[in-house]
Amino acid sequence: MKSAAGVYQLYIDGEFVDAAGGRSFPVYNPATEEVLAEVAEAGAADVDRAVKAARRAFDTGPWAQSTPASRAQALFKLAAKVRVELASLAEVEAINTGKPIVEAEGDIDAVAEVFEYYAGLATKIPGLVNPVSANALSLSLKEPIGVAGLIVPWNYPLLMAAWKLAPALAAGCTCVLKPAEQTPLTAMMLAQWFAEAGLPPGVVNVVNGFGESCGAPIVDHPLVDKIAFTGSTAVGKEIVKRGAETLKRVTLELGGKSPNIFFADADWEASVDGALFGIFINQGEVCSAGSRILVERSIYPKFVEAITEKAKTIRLGAPLDRETKMGPVVSKEQYDRVQKYLAIGKTEAKLALGGGRPAEFEKGWYIAPTIFYDADNSARIAREEIFGPVATVIPFDVESDAVQIANDTPYGLAAAVWSRDIFRVFRVVKQLRAGIVWVNHMQPTCVEAPWGGYKQSGSGRELGPWGIEEYLETKQVHINLNENPIGWY
């Protein structure tokens, strides 16, 4: 996994190798701001090698002869290995991202679950017999799409990789995975176990590097059939444009500005808890974060006060401390981006809590849980994804206003509604323009259920049976049962 010089290498065609250009880049510990590791930096030449290895493995290698059952076995083995190594993977994930260790353990458990789920699903993808005329038999066959480029972000590094790797491999695809440059370490740990799980060389390749110099060459490469991306909406748009050149299949999981809607009749304690959990879990670095908290006017002042008081008890600390509920944000770049929005927010709304760096930390990219209130939905802090621990609280008067404000956004990833009135709940659920809607909860994510966004939050769905569909082509086969000539000429 590491070179003699201690640099984490790339994983191409079943081997750990240096980058062609011999370059490397540092990866940081966001809690200490210190360099945690050096990682080989892949460029277009390395991507080309990785893609060609994936192509060969898909076209002619043993993987091309694999069966759904044999792929299931490999995925079950990988899942088992992840479970055995859960503690070490979670520790590295926590140190590298800054997230609390308890959350990292949950992430790695979910990684194993995703591999297990798609191991089970691999053998349950039937084709169809199409009801055509009597003198023919028509089949729809499901086949792997080919080489898949998987480009993932830093907020849930190994989990986002698993959301893509597992269905891709279950379907029979081969992969070039590009972890985020901030957080490549757990993916490199996983790469150590591909061979022993029974994945032949070239089936999964891992290249580390930056967006323009390593991500873009994957998108441009003519031998890549499909791109699955999670990250910013801006890069998602770029991928669609660049991918158009070779008509890539593209699935995108992008940003959000998800509304978390509280009606006066909702359970009080659960609501206060849910508002905080929705935005402060994972330091707010969550695509589905409930970053807009919409509150019915009659409870609004009391609600702002209650969430502010309770948010004061959120314990910031070192990622490996088991009592820690919030760590630092992932990088200096993200810290600066959030700070910029804190300054903007102070001109647009009232500040109830936070608004900067907590005084007790001398080092580390820590940002205090921040609550802005009396915001208008037209404010930048209500419209733009901040991706940090920053809540924007907005009052509303009646149900129709809540729906109108909730939908007044270019995004449509997730939404949540809190109420005890089932008529109201279902009316609101039906009107929300979002791919994921929670009722009296926010954030639970189940591998069995579809995940993805409406509007500019993306296209396609991950998880569940929907997730594997995105890695499959459908082949129509028409079998003539009439032995006579066509008789046309």
Name the residue among 206, 153, 199, 166 with its Cα closest to residue 46: 206
Shortest separation between residue 251's beta carbon and ligand NAI, angstroms: 13
Of the candidate spans 81-89, 176-184, 314-322, 474-482, the one that interacts with ligand NAI by CB under 6 A turns out to be 176-184
| Residue 255 within binding range of ligand NAI, rule CB under 6 A | yes
List the one residue from 155, 251, 282, 283 that touches ligand NAI (CB under 6 A).
155
Interface of this chain with ligand NAI, residues 283 to 322, rule: CB under 6 A = 287
Interface of this chain with ligand NAI, residues 383 to 422, rule: CB under 6 A = 385, 387
Known catalytic membership, residue 285: no
Toward ligand NAI, which CB reaches closer, 66 or 457? 457
Toward ligand NAI, which CB reaches closer, 85 or 253? 253
Toward ligand NAI, which CB reaches closer, 415 or 472? 415
Shortest separation between residue 459's beta carbon and ligand NAI, angstroms: 13
Q: Where do we find the tokens 């929907």?
A: 466
| Residue 178 within binding range of ligand NAI, rule CB under 6 A | yes
Toward ligand NAI, which CB reaches closer, 225 or 253? 253
Toward ligand NAI, which CB reaches closer, 239 or 266? 239
Q: By the 8 A CB rule, do 137 and 483 touch? A: no
Of the candidate spans 4-12, 72-80, 248-256, 461-469, the one that interacts with ligand NAI by CB under 6 A turns out to be 248-256
Known catalytic membership, residue 287: yes
Toward ligand NAI, which CB reaches closer, 123 or 213? 213
Toward ligand NAI, which CB reaches closer, 431 or 445? 445
Shortest separation between residue 106's beta carbon and ligand NAI, angstroms: 17
Shortest separation between residue 200's beta carbon and ligand NAI, angstroms: 26
Shortest separation between residue 443's beta carbon and ligand NAI, angstroms: 13
Distances from the Cα of 43 to the Cα of 21, 48, 488, angstroms? 8, 9, 56
List the one residue from 53, 180, 224, 367 that touches ligand NAI (CB under 6 A).
180
Interface of this chain with ligand NAI, residues 191 to 220, rule: CB under 6 A = 210-212, 215-216, 219
Question: How many residues sit close enough to ligand NAI to count as binding (CB under 6 A)?
Answer: 27
List the one residue from 166, 177, 207, 254 that touches ligand NAI (CB under 6 A).
254
| Residue 149 within binding range of ligand NAI, rule CB under 6 A | no
The binding track of 330-349 with respect to ligand NAI, each residue x by CB under 6 A or -, is: -------x------------
Q: Check 175, 214, 287, 399 and give the catalytic one.
A: 287
Query: SS3 for the chain, per residue?
Result: CECCCCEECEEECCEEECCCCCCEEEEEECCCCEEEEEEECCCHHHHHHHHHHHHHHHHCCHHHHCCHHHHHHHHHHHHHHHHHCHHHHHHHHHHHHCCCHHHHHHHHHHHHHHHHHHHHHHCCCCCEEECCCCCEEEEEEEEECCEEEEECCCCCHHHHHHHHHHHHHHHCCEEEEECCCCCCHHHHHHHCCHHHHCCCCCCEEECCCCHHHHHHHHHHCCCCCEEEEECCHHHHHHHHHHHHCCCCEEEEECCCCCEEEECCCCCHHHHHHHHHHHHHHHHHCCCCCCCEEEEEHHHHHHHHHHHHHHHCCCCECCCCCCCCCECCCCCHHHHHHHHHHHHHHHHHCEEEECCCCCCCCCCCCCCCCEEEECCCCCCHHHHCCCCCCEEEEEEECCHHHHHHHHHCCCEECEEEEECCCHHHHHHHHHHCCCCEEEECCCCCCCCCCCECCEECCEECCECHHHHHHCCEEEEEEEEECCCCCCCCC
- At 141, list the tokens: 């066959």
Shortest separation between residue 153's beta carbon and ligand NAI, angstroms: 3
> How many CA atoms does the CB half-sphere of 376 hold within 13 Å?
4
Q: Check 105, 253, 285, 399 and give the catalytic one.
A: 253
Shortest separation between residue 34's beta carbon and ligand NAI, angstroms: 20
The binding track of 226-245 with respect to ligand NAI, each residue x by CB under 6 A or -, is: ----xxx--x--xx------
Shortest separation between residue 231's beta carbon and ligand NAI, angstroms: 3
| Beta pairing, strands 454-455 & 15-17 | unpaired
Rounded CA separation 290/391 (Å): 8
Toward ligand NAI, which CB reaches closer, 270 or 437? 437
Shortest separation between residue 44's beta carbon and ligand NAI, angstroms: 12
Toward ligand NAI, which CB reaches closer, 169 or 235? 235
Chain residues in the site for ligand NAI (CB under 6 A): 151-155, 178, 180-181, 210-212, 215-216, 219, 230-232, 235, 238-239, 253-255, 287, 337, 385, 387
| Residues with active-site annotation | 253, 287
